Chain A
Amino acid sequence: MNIKHNDCLHFSNIDAAKGICRLTGNIVEIDSDACASYDKKAKCKFCKNFTEESTDGIGTCVGLKVNDWVYGELNAVTCSSYEEK
């Protein structure tokens, strides 16, 4: 899996293209490669309850009361059912 900056816990989003690295204070592009200090952010694509992912990044969430489709890039930092794969 290609790890991007917005997969990192130290990344503070600014917009669809960039954010701030909390460790360095620098502006970084989302799509540039994460560095050695990378720390995984909770996202559906990293969760055990994310299954049946299709090519467009949409799969199924089986972790909540009712199963439903979900997309892998969705942040899960506020999800109590998040379980890292």
Chain B
Amino acid sequence: MSNIKTPSERARGLRDIYYMTLSTTDMEFPYWYNRKWKELDGEVTVVRRAMALKEAFSRITPNILPGEKLVMQKTYNYRGSFPMPWLSEGFFIAKEDDLFKEVENAANASADELSEFGQGGGNVTKSFGNVVSIAGKFGMRKEEIPVLVKIAKEWTNKSVEDLGRKYEQMVPNYQMKEDIMKTLICMFDSGYTLPQGREVINYYYPLQYGFDKLKEMAIECKSVVAGNAHGDGILGMERLYFYEAVIHIIEGLQNWIGNYANHAEELADKTQNETLKKEYTEISENLKWITHNQPRTFKEALQLSYALHIAVLNEDAISGLSIGRLGQVLYPWYEQDIAEGRITREEVLELMELYRIKITAIDCFASTGVVGGVLSGNTFNNLTLGGITKDGQAACNELEEIILESGVSCQTPQPTLSVLYDEKLPESFLLKASECTKTGSGYPAWMNNRVGIDFILDQYGEEGMDIREARSLAIGGCLETSPCCWKELTLNDKKYAVPGGAGQPTSVGVHFVSNPKILELVLTNGYDKRTDIQVFPPHNKELATYEELVETFSDYYKVAVDILAKTNNVQHDIWRKHNMSVVNSFMKPDCLDKGQHIGNMGYRYNATYNVESCGTITMVNSLAAMKKLVYDDKKYTLEELKNAILNNFGYKNALETGNYSMATQIKEDGITEWDKIHSDCINAPKYGNDDFYVDSILKDYEEWFCDMTREVESLFGKKMYPCQISVSTHGAQGAATLASADGRLSGTTFSDGSMSACPGTDKKGPYAIFNSATVWDHSRSQNSQLNLKLHPSAIVGAKGTRSLLDLTRAYMRKGGFHVQYNVLDSNTLIDAQSKPDNYRDLMVRVAGFTQYWCEIGKPIQDEVIARTEYEGV
């Protein structure tokens, strides 16, 4: 395997089409959903929702592109998505409607203003011709704009967003929550923006039973539970409605797949091309079969799993619906097809290349602040490899090797790949994965299987998780350790234990609390200079000691998390009552067994809500600088340091210069007053150099954070936990934050991830970072995130591959949870920033995901360029 491998001609052709495809949104699905919903006024909500979804799925116009073998997509467009006004109707009609002023004043306006999309690739950043740019990314046909506005108006005061806002305002001190959002201390509300996601899907039931059998089972269950509470006076009766909803949703999915089967048949009838005719006929026959039955072949199983994935994504605004351990889920069909000669290894490789293109084409329609500022346009459909089996043996297989190969031969951002690193995995597999990482694709990322198992056992033990079940874990979203389970799959009388998701979303809870911003407000007595808002009550403390400084930081942090957790609990409660999942619910254990949907805790594991942080290392370095310069050495007073920060150390704001990394900032003319203090701040101890002076601050913070988050309660009455990834929020939240005591200037990005060093501050190489990063117990957190940038010359040839694996292994053995690599030359990125048209296919690893360079906003581009580049490992 090498980086000069190329995709099959078919895959290359379809990927070329993707390269020129615009991100497109349309109103077909929303129209039919909305029309049916209105018609069913008065129906039980879960049934009403299932029937509205059924109508919409049944009405999607099928569209198979010439050359496709793996078919279906979210809409009739190749890279399509659609708005869901029933979830959130405000922002996308802002410019079309009288709601503009209300939306402008809404709390998420700041996130929108400070988020940037890349200007290239498929992003429709400007309107043209009959195509209107919406939310800075999506193109919609001009003639559909009145439809969008009309439907949005019909959901005003009824959407999850509006209802949630109505009730969250009843939480005491609600104004503080609004202020926290406006000042970007917190990045977004998950309840109505992305209510599901960063979880692992489960394809098991349709793969095992087929739709007809599942429908029969639901009908049978209905007759058992109808009129029976079975000892549960609150939820017992709910089961009848859930099973009724499941029947409707299955019928909707059958109609959708069946329409595609008919479309393929029509195309076969019409085409004069005999090759195409044969392909369309096979597609039609396969689709007709899986509309009703358990798949017979690998091709059918892959097609069904992909269709199910899209089906879940069409029921809600979801980011990070991870595929899970697909190579292990589909292995039964692979193994039997290969043994029987029904398919060749080369055919499977091509199918997995086509799969990559289809998954890359998945878009999620949401606001600019969420899609741009948080997601960088990515939807994080992560595919997990490796790990161990139920009985503790290496779980990788030949199909997983092909998945790795397809990631090399057909490089696309999605699905991104994650290896659950375990000492049990064979060296050959690990080297193959390292080869893939080496190509510069940014994947696979490497996660520590044993650390993940420890976390899963600790967090879900109260819900019955044990060691055997914990071994089924997979990565949801970028790198969210997610609870899964094993199910027994039977294919031609042979039994297999297959893993799949069994937990609630982990995209939910308190999301992206800006650590440096809270520290800033400690210095400003709770006042935000950028927006002129007194966010927190003034603490009026002198902050005479370092301990008092840290204590005040902790107090403000807890106040913020408390109000955000409560308001988000209200939002999610509205969501589960009015917009509950039906598709995802029926697929994921144990909803079908319990007869309860996600909102009624039908899933096996429900303690998934979390508190997510951003800018950890910027905060740690800032505390270290203050400790050193103000409290220990007493070189400056806190007031002097604060003045320097308020004056941005004599530099222009990054938003003014348009450059967002520290490498490219511009000084105010003639101002030298803060040069010395700035120099001292920059030279203060920095994380990533194996220096316990600063690393101990990280250790203390992590121990506090991991305890504090577990004191927060989700709406399901479960303890929360930390999630420590930045995705792209370190760009937008950095833009909203003044200079910091570590020498970082106002408006520049924070350190990425949670364990990455600030660019340029790690002077002693990656092994020193490993020592710094592992001063705390990573299994106390859902994740940690470490990004490293390596120059390709550092890992040339087979020896380089081995060095890369050794590097990864060293971190894993120290107890680090996650490491991922950008293997590229920074000069290439600099050139690509100035000539994006020459680099349509250039991909980089951002923070848990790979994305096309040209589709990333400039703040994150600047940050990736500035990251320390290692020329030797």
Contacts and interface: CB of A to CB of B under 8 A. Distances in A.
B141 A73 contact: yes
- A interface secondary structure, majority: loop
Contact of A68 (B21, B38, B58, B139): B38
A71 interface: yes
Interface of B: 17, 20-28, 31, 35, 38-39, 58-66, 76-80, 122, 124, 128-131, 139-141, 143-144, 146-147, 150, 259, 267, 270-271
A22 B22 contact: no
A78 B35 contact: no
B146 A16 contact: no
A73 B77 contact: no
22 contacts: A13-B63, A14-B65, A15-B21, A15-B24, A15-B80, A15-B122, A16-B139, A16-B141, A17-B22, A20-B17, A31-B129, A58-B147, A69-B150, A71-B27, A71-B31, A71-B144, A72-B143, A77-B61, A78-B59, A78-B61, A78-B62, A79-B59
Contact of A71 (B39, B77, B80, B146): B146
Given A31-B130, A58-B150, A75-B61, A14 B267 contact: no
A73 B31 CA distance: 12
B65 A65 contact: no
A47 interface: no
Q: How large is the interface on A (under 10, 10 to 19, 20 to 34, 35 or more residues)?
A: 20 to 34
Contacts, number: 93
Given A30-B130, A65-B39, A22 B141 contact: no
Interface of A: 12-17, 20, 22, 25, 27, 30-31, 56-58, 65-66, 68-75, 77-79
A12 B65 contact: yes
A16 B131 contact: yes
Given A25-B66, A74-B28, A78-B58, A17 B147 contact: no
A15 B453 CA distance: 43
Contact of A22 (B20, B140, B267): B267
B78 A14 contact: yes
Shortest beta-carbon contacts, A-B, top 3: A16-B139, A15-B22, A56-B146
Contact of B78 (A13, A68, A69): A13
Contact of A20 (B24, B65, B80, B150): B65
A75 B28 CA distance: 8
B146 A57 contact: yes
Contacts of A68: 35, 38-39
B260 to A, nearest CB: 10
B147 to A, nearest CB: 5
A15 B31 contact: no
Given A17-B129, A73-B141, A12 B61 contact: no
A82 B267 CA distance: 20
Contacts of A77: 61-62
Nearest to B75: A13
B230 to A, nearest CB: 36
Contacts of B143: 57, 71-73
Nearest to B35: A68
A17 B131 contact: yes
